[in-house]
Copies of this chain bind each other. A is one copy, B any other.
């Protein structure tokens, strides 16, 4: 998969999944991987960045299948950002499709 396509979009993906329910990092990788390829080394720096930007808070929860999981919960700011990014994504895709399709149906 084209790596460059993902720039900025993974942020939208993380925020979108968290807008439905709380997840821990490893789980986010698995969720996103269902639709687009992502490597584990990508998610943690991304989560840290979004955390620093105040997009979510975290809490730890024990697991019987391994080490404790760090769950992420969206803040109001995070929800706002998700909505804004999603809207911009839709506008962007529309614009690109017009260019790719040739703006008049080939």
Residues of A within 8 A of B (CB): 1-9, 11-13, 16-17, 20, 31-32, 35-36, 85-86, 88-89, 92-96, 98-100, 102
- Minimal beta-carbon separation of A7 from chain B (angstroms): 4
Knowing that A9-B96, A36-B99, A93-B93 are A-B contacts, what are 19 other residue pairs whose CB atoms are under 8 Å apart, sorted by A's residue number?
A1-B88, A2-B89, A3-B8, A4-B7, A5-B8, A5-B88, A5-B92, A6-B92, A12-B100, A13-B100, A16-B99, A16-B100, A17-B99, A32-B99, A35-B95, A35-B96, A35-B98, A35-B99, A89-B96
Nearest Cβ in chain B — how far from A86, in angstroms? 5
Q: Complex formed: what's the CA distance from A11 to B4 in Å?
A: 10
